[in-house]
Structure 1
Amino acid sequence: MENQSLSRSRKNLKTATMVKVSLLGAISFVFMALEFTIPIFPAFLKFDISDIPSLIAGFALGPIAGVIVQFIKNIMNVAIMGTTTGGVGELSNFVIGSSFVATAALIYKHHKGIKSAIIACICGTLVMTILGVFSNYFVMLPLYSKFIPMDKIVQMGSVVNPAIKDTFTLVLYGIAPFNIFKGLSISFLTMLIYKKISILLKR
């Protein structure tokens, strides 16, 4: 009887977690649709706050939950909004976002507290930025160039920063600073609201 009760409790806990993760994924998708450009970065780099629900999920429910939120967000975006890049943009968003969230959540999982959360977010931002440099240079931009010529992509960067002259400088002076800015911004905004929302998620 006790084993049945324990099994039922675990099943209910898993179901509740799935519901929370799904809800955060849907919220993340809505936030993703509210993207906008920032004049100091290339026009194809859109800023949004869709990583906030994912980071909250990672901190409150674990790294895997955070990554699943990223997955749900991008799948919903392709299914509902469609894609103009054959899914390359969504793939890049998933890879970069997941590296940020998974790193931060993994560190926070083993060391709780505000100081640890700050360190976790900084580490997540660094991992996201480094991975963004390599993934964009070797994979994402070459794939992206099949839909938009590379010279036009580089031109979008040179418009806001004359130092951008080719793919390498685009990644170094355009994409890397953008990921740093985004990571720190998402981290700051998450810190402002995490405590109140985490109470609801952990019930």
Structure 2
Amino acid sequence: MSEKSARIKKLVLLAMFTAIAAVLITLVHFPLFPSAAFLQYDPADVPILIAAFAFGPVAGLIVTVLASFIQAFFLGGDGIYGFLMHVIATGILVMVASTIYRKFHTRPGAVVGLVLGTIAMGVGMMIANHFITPFYMGVPTEMVDAMLVTVILPFNLLKAGINSAITFLVYKAVSRYIIHGEGHVRGSEKAAGEI
């Protein structure tokens, strides 16, 4: 496959992953904790993680931003607040997991990347909620801080953990389709389906 064809295929695939993520976050969402129904689980991080594992951290971050923007401003999302929080949460997970997987392109590398990405997302969202949520939601910082360890941290760990597990289980099969008909998807790297 020529370089031009490979670039076109990559752009098409990234657009597809963006669309899938935007649809999933819009159509499939439900609370994990009844006491905090405003925190909604969605599987949108799965296609974003797949894109990042296949094409690298930057591609994953681009898909994150585009999917978050579409959902926040065109599909009934929470506007700038929802956009910002989704980009931070998913961005942390995707960047950490895919950076480690890119360096250690093996099943253990994928596991370590996904686990560390999950932990980083949990910690990162505690920090983000402390600083951002009171400003946008108009609630006291103390009220948000009281939920950081008991609600926000476990929610984000559970959400990221579920999506990471799904990604790990489906990535190899999906990556075979992604690279079908070409020997590589990222410069001189070997095919992406090594999980």
TM-score, reference length from structure 1: 0.82
Distance (whole Å) between structure 1 residues aligned to residue 103 and residue 33 of structure 2: 38
Label 1:123 to 1:43 Cα distance change in 2 as closer, same or farther (>3 A): same
Alignment gaps of 5+ in structure 2:
181-195
Aligned to 1:11: 4
Offset from partner CA, 1:42-88 (integer Å, 9 cap, x none): 111000000000000111111111111111211211342234x4420
Tell me if structure 1 keeps the 8 A contact 2:72–2:79: no
Q: Is the 8 A contact 2:97 2:114 kept in 1?
A: yes
Q: Which residue number corresponds to residue 179 of structure 1?
A: 156
- Match of residue 168 from structure 2: 191
C-alpha displacement at 1:113, in angstroms? 1.5
1:142 to 134, 143, 147: 134
CA shift, 1:143, in A, is 2.9
What percent identity do the matched residue pairs reach? 28
State how far apart, in whole Å, the 2-side matches of 1:41 and 1:65 are. 36
> Is residue 54 of structure 1 aligned with residue 48 of structure 2?
yes
User: How far 1:41 sits from its partner (Å)?
Assistant: 5.3
Q: How many residues are paired up?
A: 179
Offset of 1:38 from its aligned partner? 1.9
Question: Are the aligned partners of 2:68 and 2:83 in contact in 1 as well (CA < 8 Å)?
Answer: yes
Q: Which amino acid aligns with 1:70?
A: T
**Which ranges of structure 1 fall in alignment gaps of 5 or more residues?**
1-7, 155-164
Equivalent runs, 1:3-82 vs 2, <5 Å: 9-33=2-26, 34-40=28-34, 42-82=36-76
Q: TM-score scaled by structure 2?
A: 0.85
Equivalent-residue separation in structure 2 for 1:176 and 1:185 (angstroms): 14
Identify the match of residue 117 of structure 1 among 110, 118, 125: 110
In the alignment, is the contact (CA less than 8 A) between 1:88 and 1:143 conserved in 2?
A: no
In structure 2, the residue matched to 1:89 is: 82
State the one-letter code of the partner of 2:137.
S
Alpha-carbon contact 1:104-1:123 (below 8 Å) kept: yes
Please report the RMSD computed on the Cα atoms of aligned residues, expressed in angstroms.
1.8
Contact conserved, 2:56 with 2:99, CA < 8 A, in 1? yes
CA shift at 1:136, angstroms?
0.9
